[in-house]
Structures are given as C-alpha cells and as structure tokens.
C-alpha cells in the first residue's frame, strides 16, 4: 500500500521469458526468473528476507528503519512482478523453474538477488523498481546485469519509463549502474535520508539523486 492507496500496474504485453546474462567471472551466467506475486519457493523468500533485514539493520541504502516482518517483506518485494536471479555455470542447462535451478545448491552460492517491478505512482505515472543483491554475490556485476534485465522486462510489463526517486548519494555502486545504463540524473533531494553513514555508524542526513530513463 502506498500513500496513493492501492495502485494498479499497467497492462502487460505478454508473459515474461527466462533470460541468460553472461558474467565476467569464471564462465558463470546469471539466469533471471520472472515470478508473479509470491509464487516463489518458501526458502527463497526467507533467504532474501534475511538479506533485506540485514540491509535495513545497516541503515545505509533503504529508507525503511525496520524491523520488517516476513509478511511485510513478501508483500513489499513479491507483491507484484519479481525477477529472481540465479548464478550457474554457462555449461549448465537452464532450468524451467527457479526451484529446479536451485535444487541441490546452497542459496548463498546460487541465489544472486532479486528486484520487484511495480508502480511507484498512480496509473497515469506508474513506473518503479527496487533491487536487492546479497553481499556474497557482490563484485560479480550481478547488479549491473539485473539492471540490464530490468530494461527489458519493465517495458514488456507495459511501463514506458522508470524513475528511482531515492538513490542515496553514498550508494556509489547503485549510482554507477544507473549512469552506465543510460539513466538521467533529473533531480537531487537535499538531506533526503537519515542514514548510518557517519563516524562509527552514527546517523547523518544524506542527499538523494532522482534518476529517470524512458523506454520509448
């Protein structure tokens, strides 16, 4: 639920496909699995919930203070369309479901992250997404390739553009990804977030950048 109440997503252009993205690490690839609603294995949601809870506890990237319940996380990240990434060998067969892709594997090794695609504003201005990459997967260009997949999936879901309205300036990795993917910096909000970025984890106010990209 947002400040605008329940927001309907735009009309999708058709079912989303599973896609493969080469990674610059030891012959690995990222496989992206589109999931509608909370239709994901329980262990996947619970693992990503723990990752998100740790991210909120760090207080450096997301505006929520937490703690967030498992139900709240499921509604937040899996309430609409979610893309879940799995890392595997380029020689391995691409499985038809995320459950099959993760079978027999450790989640911390294979589960690369996820992002949601859902409206940020009411129907005449709906466009947004939110990304989560576990610390164990960082440094492999996972975030960049999830971003690349977003530029394909979001238009297929009927979105004409995307705006991220709170990219905190301390999050250099995120800013670099959106710059590389052609997003425009269309605004800046002074003192937008009270984050734990000060000395010894103390709180301080940090500016945020608004970035935008048109899909048409």
What is the dihedral sign for C-alpha 118, 2, 52, 99?
A: negative
Is the separation of the CB atoms in 127 and 154 below 8 Å?
Answer: yes
Instruction: Name the E strands within the chain.
Output: 19-22, 28-36, 81-89, 111-117, 129-132, 161-168, 184-195, 204-214
In the prediction, which pLDDT does 8 show? 67
Residue 7 has pLDDT above 70, yes or no: no
In the prediction, which pLDDT does 3 show? 55
Give the distance, in angstroms, between the CA of residue 102 and the centroid of all CA atoms in the same chain: 19
What is the dotted CATH code of the domain comprising 19-160? 3.40.630.30
For the residues 169-178, what does the mean pLDDT come to?
96
Q: What are phi and psi of 135, to 5 degrees?
A: -55, -30
Q: Residue 113 has which token pair?
A: 């992250």
Is the separation of the CB atoms in 31 and 86 below 8 Å?
Answer: yes
Segments making up each domain of the chain, as ranges: 19-160
Which of 154, 215, 163, 160 is CA-nearest to residue 186? Answer: 163
In the prediction, which pLDDT does 25 show? 83
Q: Residue 184 has which token pair?
A: 């425009």
Is the separation of the CB atoms in 35 and 48 below 8 Å?
Answer: no
In the prediction, which pLDDT does 9 show? 72
**Percentage of the chain exceeding pLDDT 70:** 94
Residue 127 has pLDDT above 70, yes or no: no
């Amino acid at each position: 639920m947002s400040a605008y109440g329940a927001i309907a997503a735009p009309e999708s252009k058709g079912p989303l496909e599973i896609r493969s993205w080469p990674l610059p690490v030891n012959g690995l690839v990222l496989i992206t699995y589109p999931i509608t609603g909370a239709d994901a294995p329980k262990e996947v949601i619970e693992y990503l919930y723990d990752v998100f809870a740790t991210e909120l506890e760090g207080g450096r990237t997301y505006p929520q203070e937490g703690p967030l319940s498992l139900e709240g996380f499921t509604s937040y990240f899996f309430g609409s369309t979610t893309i879940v990434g799995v890392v595997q060998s380029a020689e391995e067969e691409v499985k038809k479901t995320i459950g099959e892709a993760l079978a027999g594997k450790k989640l911390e090794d294979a589960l690369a992250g996820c992002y949601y695609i859902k409206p940020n504003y009411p129907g005449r201005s709906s466009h947004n997404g939110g990304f989560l990459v576990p610390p164990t997967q960082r440094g492999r260009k996972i975030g960049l390739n999830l971003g690349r997949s977003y530029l394909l999936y979001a238009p297929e879901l009927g979105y004409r553009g995307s705006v991220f309205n709170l990219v905190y300036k301390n999050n250099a990795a995120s800013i670099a990804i959106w710059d590389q993917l052609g997003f425009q910096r269309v605004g800046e909000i002074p003192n937008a977030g009270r984050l734990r970025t000060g000395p010894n984890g103390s709180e301080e106010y940090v500016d945020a950048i608004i970035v935008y990209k048109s899909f048409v």
